[in-house]
Structure 1
Amino acid sequence: MKKLALLLAALSVASVSYAKEVMPEAAPVVEEAPVVEEVVEVKAAPVLRVTSVGQELVVENKSNANKGGYADVGEAVHLKNMVGLALGDKWTFDLMARKTWDASIDDHEAGDTKGAGMHSVGHRIDLQATRHFENFSLGLRWRGEKNQDAIFLPMTYNYGMVSGWFEPAYYFVNESKGQDKFYLEAEPVVLSYGPVQLAYYFEGTKWTGDGNATDDVKSDYVHQARLRGTVYSNDTFSVGAEYRYQFAQDVEMLNGKDGVENNRHIAVLSAAYNVTENLTVDTYYQYEFNKYEQHEGTAMDDDYYGEFGLGWSYNF
């Protein structure tokens, strides 16, 4: 038995040694590095698109129209057509084309040679391009009219509660007695708190050369304080109101004397109704009570001016 056990042990050792010699060693596993593909972002080119279209009808009227030789329904009736466009997020473009008539139901105004009805008195075309930045914008506008053309450089800024806008311009006057002029209209400072705004307004005109011989004026500068806000609003309807006080007007005549100063009071009531999410109808009425101070100019009686506007706009 001992011999048999020794024989089996020897056979076992021999088989293990043979298996080690015959069986090859396992090949090492090599892990492949992951392939990282670079993603290239392709930005779409900006597309010029229409953002809004609209129209507005504006009627201007002065008191004592017949006595003063003005049309008694509307000294000026304007019909405006407006289109807004955008190129990407930074550029906007605006087109405004306006036709103007006067309107009267009487044919006996002082100095009237046209008679009753509506008569074409002018047109205006505005083309504007604006570059928008984070807190301000810069633009360029060309204006063409019957007797004059103009170049504007509109600017705006907005830093929360403080904002403002400026529209400096130069007018090229094409009338025989007219002169080119520098023009500035602005609200340099607008303070906002909730729905209420308080603004300072300035409008100035400085004629070149000898001044405006038609009106006997060399320069005219206007200063106003403006208070406006939203009176009522909900999801579809809003009402706004504004009061403007013209606290100073500096007029220099061609002879160097001070012209008539108008310390006017102005009230504006406006409303807007959202017919749909995109379509809005709006209207306003502006009333001005003109209070004149003669200085060295020709005396003038106090009077009033009214302006009514009705329009619509569709935003895409």
Structure 2
Amino acid sequence: MPLTFAHFIEQARKDRDLTQQEMLELLIEADPTLSKLDLTTFSRWERGVTTPKLVKQLLIARIVGEDVALLIDPQEKGPIKKVNHFEKIQSRVRDPYSSDSNDFKTFHCESLTDEPELYSKLSVFHNDYLGMKTNLSELNNRNIMLEIFVDGTGKLVGHLFHGYLDTSTLPSQCVPDKLSDCQFIVPEDHQSTNLTMYIVSAFCSMAQPRMVMILMILNRLRQHTNIKDLQVNCHDQEGFTLYDSNSECEIIAKGEAIQFGGVKVFGKHFRYVRIKTNPENILSSKVFSDIIPFTNEYIDCLLDKHP
């Protein structure tokens, strides 16, 4: 059972040896959306008289560095339409020529220098499919994170390409299109820095590794409480809808306009659109309620089946 918010916030305050006023000031200083919070409201929260929406509860949990899973009820069910859409994304087979959709392996790629075939395929994906004109050779040893998924024969079936940026150094509302300009950092080395998690691209043609990828993203948002923004380049309608329907996301950039396919917004199709949202919006979605408290366990279970 999840903690009640009243118990959670009282315990969080006492663990830090803070008065209600000091806790209030900490929250107000940490996030502008809490600027109108007053002592009366805070006191009512702590006494259980009123309770804020889950998205605000999770924001507060992340500000004080606590695991959001403490507040999420895995029994909560999301709207049927959203749940059905998520299930379709999980189960969709995008490579009908694959002989066994359950046979896969994953590994973390440190550098593309010694992986010419992988480098070539990822270059085609970014340059030709997304139209990003990305020179991947510039990214070696730049703290970029690349998870690779292959099937039982060693064929590339998916990737998760992302990194972390200091939010305070980003231009207003955007990430540079030239990836070599992005100063990617290791989140574990910058635990007091407000971070933007930037998913450059993500794709998987097989169902189970696609689920591992989704779990990895949710798990990193859950673990790194100093991630303040999430930016994602969405290149298909299903992926865009997943974010758009489960969070308050903002479109901050668009790729090349095309006649069909890609992502359709404002009546036009684009190779990709970059959205921006905050982690609390994603983590508070009831569609993910039965997943988020157990992300580590699910990832371990799926990868144990496919070493």
Higher relative contact order, structure no. (Cα contacts within 8 Å, ≥ 6 residues apart): 2
Shorter-chain TM range is under 0.3
TM-score, length-scaled by structure 2 = 0.26
Structure (1 or 2) with the larger CA radius of gyration: 1
Structure (1/2) with the larger helix percentage? 2
Structure (1/2) with the larger strand percentage? 1
TM-score, length-scaled by structure 1 = 0.26
